[in-house]
């Protein structure tokens, strides 16, 4: 998740907030997606109760994380479009 933890939107990547442990957050999001049946193919959108990042396209705070799982079971995540 390094591209999403630089602290700058200049690279065009959504960013996790500095107070967020992005590795643990993504693992927790993947586990929640498993329990809640949120996976659609290899992607899940997981909402949180408070903001976890900033969306690169809009600059808005977001409480949603996109989680991706590869065929080996490894996960990657990034802040997603905010929920309305």
What average pLDDT values come out for the chain (84 residues) when binned by 10 residues? 82 91 95 97 96 93 96 93 77
Answer yes or no: is 45 within a domain: yes
- pLDDT confidence of residue 2: 80
Q: Please, what is the end-to-end C-alpha distance for the chain in angstroms?
A: 25
Answer yes or no: is 33 within a domain: yes
- pLDDT confidence of residue 3: 82
Split into its structural domains, the chain has a count of 1
User: Do the strands 75-79 and 61-62 form a parallel or antiparallel pair, or are they unpaired?
Assistant: unpaired
C-alpha 81/C-alpha 55 separation (Å) is: 6
SS3 state at 72: coil
- pLDDT confidence of residue 9: 84
Answer yes or no: is 84 within a domain: no
Buried b (16+ CB within 10 A) or exposed e, 37-68: ebeeeeebbbebeebbbbbbeeeeebbbbbbe
- pLDDT confidence of residue 70: 93
- pLDDT confidence of residue 84: 63
Domain that holds residue 21: 2-79
Answer yes or no: is 27 within a domain: yes
What pTM does this model have?
Answer: 0.88
């Amino acid at each position: 998740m390094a591209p999403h933890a630089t602290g700058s939107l200049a690279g065009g990547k959504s960013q996790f907030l500095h107070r967020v442990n992005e590795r643990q957050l993504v693992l927790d999001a993947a586990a929640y997606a498993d329990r809640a049946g949120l996976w659609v193919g290899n992607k899940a959108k997981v909402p949180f109760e408070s903001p976890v990042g900033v969306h690169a396209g809009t600059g808005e705070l977001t409480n949603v994380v996109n989680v991706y799982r590869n065929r080996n079971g490894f996960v990657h995540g990034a802040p997603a479009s905010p929920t309305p």
